[in-house]
Structure 1
Amino acid sequence: MTNYFPIHLNIEFKTVVIVGGGHVATQKVASLLPAKANIVVVSPTLHDTLMPLVKSGEITWRDKEFEPRDLDDATLIIAATNDTNVNDAVQEAAQHWQLLNRADVQGESDFITPATVRRGPLVLTVSTSGASPALARKIKQDLAEQFDAVYEDYVCFLQQARLMVAANFEKGEQRRAALQALLEPSLLEWTRNGEIDRREAFLQQLLTGETR
């Protein structure tokens, strides 16, 4: 079994080429959209769910059979066809500096895409390194229930609060204590209940040193 190194990549504005336009390609596109990559799909056919994304300019569709030159500008490459010969050709054409994912043969991939739960800035990923994708999906579902949609607002609040704490306190124990205080469970509960005023009042007291 391959021992993958877990990493989050910044691929904003970088080109990701997906060869294939079927169901697997739609899943890959959906996972890539939040990263704001330049997504290019190469396929003579395209799944219906992808066409609106083409029309809106969110992805680019090359309505054609795969050619090696399709990979010229790619940072990431995903071979997602149901034709082993095409996927082989994609793998052969990929350069050593390009990262390749083969949807059909995991052992030939430079990277795999983990099961992911996104809540705004909060990104939770799960992988069994291919040992049991079903288990990864189950854990993802469990995490999605535990870290529900409220966490997006909550984490965005923590992000802004952290910046305010950094601006108000010099590095040292006082800043560390203030950042730790932001993990007060009441803040999440107030966010869940829509009690934003109480949350903001807590933050202001924290910034003025009136709370611990």
Structure 2
Amino acid sequence: MFYPININLDNMNILVVGGGKVALRKCKNFSDFGKSVTIVSPIFEDGFSELENVKLIKREFEERDLNNINMAIIATNNRKLNAEISDMCRKRNIITNVVDDIDKSNFTVSSYVKRGNLLIGISTGGTSPSLSAKIKRELEEKYGEEYEEYTLILGKLRKIIIKKYEDKSERKKQLNRLVKLSLDELKKEYIKEKINDK
């Protein structure tokens, strides 16, 4: 059973094995979070050269590639090789996602919608990637790009509210009131609170 979790990638050394479309998609996801990755594959899809923060190693995987790695994404088109690499990772306590074998993985990567600090994960536990994709499209429509600014302002207001109200129930009431406001109303509220906070 998989438990939903957000993980801090700051001090993680990440290896992706494979140079196909699935590996490319996984690497793009890491780029969304500003994380650099090392990718090992004898061949690469065209899109890899456009990625930032990647180190491409053009050759077959070797066990030494796992040295100093904390997280591995195994995405070759060879199931036997994927399983072998997964076993090597387990022996080294490397958290591993094998894209074509959930039983050989000790974590999965959810689909997600990211709007600044707002991060909504979507997972079917590997049973229906199509459903995850459908729900992702629906959430992208519902929570547009404006939510990046919305969550940023909410975060600033939250700090002011926490400082302003000692009573926890009043804090909660004020914070719940804020999330009902539109973006424009929230901006006005922030300006007002900022002036009053001085």
1:36 aligns to what?
A: 34
TM-score, normalised on structure 1?
Answer: 0.83
Segments of structure 2 that go 5 or more residues without pairing to the other structure are none
Alignment of 1:121-160 (within 5 A): 121-160=117-156
Alignment of 1:61-80 (within 5 A): 61-80=56-75
Contact 2:117 2:148 in 1 (8 A): yes
Query: Does residue 59 in structure 1 map to residue 54 in structure 2?
Result: yes
Q: Once the 2 structures are TM-superposed, how far is the Cα of residue 76 of structure 1 from its aligned partner?
A: 1.0
Contact 1:115 1:137 in 2 (8 A): yes
Contact 1:11 1:36 in 2 (8 A): no
Q: Once the 2 structures are TM-superposed, how far is the Cα of residue 171 of structure 1 from its aligned partner?
A: 5.1
Contact 2:157 2:190 in 1 (8 A): yes
The whole-number CA distance in structure 1 between the counterparts of 2:128 and 2:188 is 46
The whole-number CA distance in structure 2 between the counterparts of 1:138 and 1:176 is 34
2:94 aligns to what?
A: 98
Letter in 1 for 2:189: F
2:24 aligns to what?
A: 26
The whole-number CA distance in structure 2 between the counterparts of 1:108 and 1:88 is 7
Q: Once the 2 structures are TM-superposed, how far is the Cα of residue 85 of structure 1 from its aligned partner?
A: 3.0
Segments of structure 1 that go 5 or more residues without pairing to the other structure are 191-197
The whole-number CA distance in structure 2 between the counterparts of 1:116 and 1:148 is 13
Q: Once the 2 structures are TM-superposed, how far is the Cα of residue 143 of structure 1 from its aligned partner?
A: 0.9
Question: Which of 185, 188, 194 is residue 201 of structure 1 equivalent to?
Answer: 188
The whole-number CA distance in structure 1 between the counterparts of 2:113 and 2:186 is 25
Alignment of 1:4-15 (within 5 A): 4-15=2-13
Question: Which of 174, 177, 180 is residue 176 of structure 2 equivalent to?
Answer: 180
Stretch of structure 1 that moved more, 162-171 or 31-40:
162-171
Query: Does residue 162 in structure 1 map to residue 158 in structure 2?
Result: yes
State the secondary structure of the residue aligned to 2:90. coil
After superposition, the C-alpha distances for 1:26-56 in whole angstroms (9 at most, x for unaligned) are 1100111233333110112122111132xx5
Q: Once the 2 structures are TM-superposed, how far is the Cα of residue 160 of structure 1 from its aligned partner?
A: 1.5
The whole-number CA distance in structure 1 between the counterparts of 2:167 and 2:69 is 41
Matched pairs, number: 195
Contact 1:66 1:86 in 2 (8 A): no
State the secondary structure of the residue aligned to 1:140. helix
Letter in 2 for 1:78: I
After superposition, the C-alpha distances for 1:146-187 in whole angstroms (9 at most, x for unaligned) are 1111111111111122122233333533433332222132x3
Contact 2:153 2:190 in 1 (8 A): no
